[in-house]
Structure 1
Amino acid sequence: MGLESKITSKGQTTIPAEVREFLKIGAGDRVGYQFVDGKVVLVPKNRSALDFAGVLHQPTRAPVSIETMNDAINEGISERFGRSCDRD
């Protein structure tokens, strides 16, 4: 089954060391919880936006405008949730 931990009467648990090391989290860091396909996913919240600078960079990709990005995001949200995010 993998790793597991016990829930206390106060609803607390200890995240196994292997998981903390994998997520690069430690004392004082925050974690989030997301429901995905009937499961709960633990999401580390200890990284700043600057940690992600350049992760999507592809030298061969042509630059796009903010408007094009916003249109693509809006289209993705519309397809996923059946609603528009237009602010006009």
Structure 2
Amino acid sequence: MSSKSQITIPAAVRDALGLAAGDKIDFILSPNGFEIVPRRQSVLALHGKYAHLVTQPRSLDEIDTAIRNRMKKRFGA
């Protein structure tokens, strides 16, 4: 640990967790010590991020039908 309380995470651990420079992590206390887990974004942080991909608004019924059809196609009846 550095004098600024910073730690270095080995490359193998960063790769296994899918971490990149600037990512945040959490230390979770468990019965065996601590677990290091990537901090996930809140769904609210994604608001508007993919708006440019929406070419035509869809109703909830249309969305439900599309999901149902995709699930049937992928996993069967």
> 2:47 aligns to what?
53
**Larger Rg over CA atoms:** 2
The 3-state SS of whatever aligns with 1:24 is coil
Q: Does 1 or 2 have the higher relative contact order (CA < 8 Å, sep 6+)?
A: 2
- The unaligned stretches of length 5 or more in structure 1 are 6-14, 32-43, 84-88
Computed over aligned residues only, the root mean square deviation of the Cα atoms, in angstroms, reads 3.6
Give the 3-state SS of the residue equivalent to 2:65 in structure 1: helix
TM-score, normalising length: structure 2? 0.52
CA–CA separation in structure 1 for the residues paired with 2:76 and 2:22? 33
Amino acid aligned to 2:51: H
Query: Percent sequence identity over matched residues?
Result: 20
Listed one character per residue, the Cα deviations across residues 29-79 of structure 1 (whole Å, up to 9, x for unaligned) are 775xxxxxxxxxxxx561111122123313771211011011111111111
Structure 2 spans left out of the alignment, 5+ residues: 1-9, 29-35
Rounded to whole Å, the distance in 2 between the matches of 1:23 and 1:82 is: 41
| Matched residue SS, 1:20 | coil
Aligned pairs, how many?
A: 60
Q: State the one-letter code of the partner of 2:14.
A: P
